[in-house]
Structure 1
Amino acid sequence: MMNQPTLSPDLSFTQPFHDNEQIVLTEPAIRFMTELVSEFTSQRNELLNARQRRQQEIDAGKLPDFAPETLSIRQKAWSIRGIPQDLQNRRVEITGPVERKMVINALNADVNVFMADFEDSLAPSWEKVIDGQIALRDAVNGTISYTHDNGKIYQLKPEPAVLICRVRGLHLPERHVQWQGEAIPASLFDFALYFFHNHQALLAKGSGPYFYLPKMQSWQEAAWWSRVFSVTEDRFSLPRGTIKATVLIETLPAVFQMDEILYALRDHIVGLNCGRWDYIFSYIKTLKNHSDRALPDRQSVTMDQPFLDAYSRLLINTCHRRGAFAMGGMAAFIPSKDPEKNAAVLERVRADKMREAANGHDGTWIAHPGLADTVNAVFDQALGNRPNQLDVLRGQDAPITADDLLAPCPGERTEQGMRANIRVAVQYIEAWISGNGCVPIYGLMEDAATAEISRTSIWQWIHHQKSLSDGRVVTKALFRQMLAEELHTIQQEVGEQRFSHGRFTEAANLMEQITTQDELIDFLTLPGYALLA
Structure 2
Amino acid sequence: MNPSPLTLPPAAQPLVAALHRELRPRWAALDAAAQAAPSAPPTYRAAALPDDLGHRRVELIVEASDLQALDAALNSDADALVLDFDDTFAPTRANVQMAYGALETAAKSDRPLLARPRALYAVEEGLEFGGPAIAAFCDLGVILAARPGRPIHIYVPKLETVQEAGLWDDALALAEQHLGLERNAIRVCVQIETYAATLHADALLHALHGRAFGLNAGRWDYVFSLTKRAGAVRGAMPPRNDLTMDVDAMRAYAETLVRVCEARGAQAIGGSAAVAPDAQNPQAALDAVRADKLREAAQGFVAAWAGLPQLLDAVRGAFEGEASQPLPAETAQRTHERLLDLPAPRPLPLDMVQDSIGLALAVFEAWYDGRGVVVRNGRIEDTATAELARAQLWQWVGCAAQLEGGGELTADRYLAERRALAPDTTAQAQLLDHLVLAPVCPEYFPRAAQLRKPQEATV
Pairwise TM-score range, normalised by the shorter structure: over 0.9
| Equivalent residue number for residue 261 of structure 1 | 204
Q: Does 1:186 align with 2:167?
A: no
Alpha carbons of structure 1 residues 15 and 38: separation in structure 2 relative to 1, 3 Å: farther
Structure 1 unaligned blocks of 5 or more: 1-13, 58-66, 143-158, 384-388, 489-502
| Equivalent residue number for residue 37 of structure 1 | 20
Q: Distance in 1 between matches of 2:206 and 2:192?
A: 15
What TM-score comes out, normalization by structure 1 length? 0.80
Paired letter, 2:29: E
Alpha carbons of structure 1 residues 414 and 221: separation in structure 2 relative to 1, 3 Å: same
Q: Does 1:487 align with 2:429?
A: no
| Equivalent residue number for residue 446 of structure 2 | 525
| Equivalent residue number for residue 356 of structure 1 | 296
**Shift in Å, 1:435:** 0.6
Q: Distance in 2 between matches of 1:528 and 1:367?
A: 26
Q: In 1, are the aligned partners of 2:238 and 2:342 still within 8 Å (CA)?
A: no
Find 2:186's aligned residue among 243, 266, 269: 243
Q: Distance in 2 between matches of 1:163 and 1:304?
A: 32
Q: Distance in 1 between matches of 2:178 and 2:390?
A: 43
Alpha carbons of structure 1 residues 258 and 17: separation in structure 2 relative to 1, 3 Å: closer
**Shift in Å, 1:52:** 3.7
Q: Distance in 2 between matches of 1:242 and 1:253?
A: 28
Q: Distance in 2 between matches of 1:139 and 1:314?
A: 34
Find 1:222's aligned residue among 159, 165, 176: 165
Q: Distance in 2 between matches of 1:295 and 1:94?
A: 31
User: Per the alignment, in what secondary structure is the counterpart of residue 225 of structure 2?
Assistant: helix
Find 1:283's aligned residue among 201, 210, 226: 226
| Equivalent residue number for residue 324 of structure 1 | 266
| Equivalent residue number for residue 273 of structure 1 | 216
**Shift in Å, 1:484:** 1.5
User: Per the alignment, in what secondary structure is the counterpart of residue 518 of structure 1?
Assistant: coil
| Equivalent residue number for residue 92 of structure 1 | 58
Q: Distance in 2 between matches of 1:504 and 1:90?
A: 47
| Equivalent residue number for residue 39 of structure 2 | 70
| Equivalent residue number for residue 125 of structure 2 | 175
Alpha carbons of structure 1 residues 107 and 397: separation in structure 2 relative to 1, 3 Å: farther
Q: In 2, are the aligned partners of 1:241 and 1:268 still within 8 Å (CA)?
A: yes
Q: In 1, are the aligned partners of 2:303 and 2:316 still within 8 Å (CA)?
A: no
Structure 2 unaligned blocks of 5 or more: none
Q: Distance in 1 between matches of 2:265 and 2:259?
A: 10
Find 1:297's aligned residue among 239, 260, 265: 239
Q: Distance in 1 between matches of 2:427 and 2:394?
A: 19
Cα deviation digits, residues 396-448 of structure 1 (max 9, x gap)? 66764211122233364210100100111111100001110122112111110
Paired letter, 1:373: D
Q: Distance in 1 between matches of 2:326 and 2:180?
A: 37
Percent identical among aligned pairs is 28
Alpha carbons of structure 1 residues 197 and 350: separation in structure 2 relative to 1, 3 Å: closer
Cα deviation digits, residues 122-169 of structure 1 (max 9, x gap)? 111122112112112112114xxxxxxxxxxxxxxxx64x11110000
Alpha carbons of structure 1 residues 364 and 267: separation in structure 2 relative to 1, 3 Å: same
Q: In 2, are the aligned partners of 1:36 and 1:188 still within 8 Å (CA)?
A: yes
Cα deviation digits, residues 161-202 of structure 1 (max 9, x gap)? x1111000000001111122x2121000000111112122xx
Find 1:83's aligned residue among 39, 45, 49: 49
Alignment map for 1:91-490 (pairs within 5 Å): 91-98=57-64, 99-142=66-109, 160=111, 162-180=112-130, 182-200=131-149, 203=150, 208-292=151-235, 294-339=236-281, 342-383=282-323, 392-395=325-328, 400-410=334-344, 412=346, 413-487=348-422
User: Per the alignment, in what secondary structure is the counterpart of residue 184 of structure 1?
Assistant: strand
Q: Distance in 2 between matches of 1:110 and 1:209?
A: 19
Q: Distance in 1 between matches of 2:135 and 2:259?
A: 32
Q: In 2, are the aligned partners of 1:123 and 1:532 still within 8 Å (CA)?
A: no
**Shift in Å, 1:393:** 3.1
User: Per the alignment, in what secondary structure is the counterpart of residue 532 of structure 1?
Assistant: coil
Q: In 1, are the aligned partners of 2:46 and 2:214 still within 8 Å (CA)?
A: no
Alpha carbons of structure 1 residues 178 and 487: separation in structure 2 relative to 1, 3 Å: same
User: Per the alignment, in what secondary structure is the counterpart of residue 46 of structure 2?
Assistant: coil
Paired letter, 1:91: R
Paired letter, 2:410: T
Q: In 2, are the aligned partners of 1:321 and 1:393 still within 8 Å (CA)?
A: no
Paired letter, 2:363: Y
Q: Distance in 2 between matches of 1:448 and 1:139?
A: 24
Cα deviation digits, residues 432-475 of structure 1 (max 9, x gap)? 01110122112111110111111111111111122123231110
Q: Distance in 2 between matches of 1:354 and 1:81?
A: 26
User: Per the alignment, in what secondary structure is the counterpart of residue 436 of structure 2?
Assistant: helix
Q: Distance in 1 between matches of 2:255 and 2:321?
A: 20
Paired letter, 1:362: V
User: Per the alignment, in what secondary structure is the counterpart of residue 335 of structure 1?
Assistant: coil
Q: In 2, are the aligned partners of 1:109 and 1:369 still within 8 Å (CA)?
A: yes
Q: In 1, are the aligned partners of 2:76 and 2:309 still within 8 Å (CA)?
A: yes
What TM-score comes out, normalization by structure 2 length? 0.93
Q: In 2, are the aligned partners of 1:120 and 1:449 still within 8 Å (CA)?
A: yes
Cα deviation digits, residues 311-369 of structure 1 (max 9, x gap)? 10110110121111111111110111122xx2221221121111101111011111111
**Shift in Å, 1:17:** 6.5
Alpha carbons of structure 1 residues 414 and 243: separation in structure 2 relative to 1, 3 Å: same
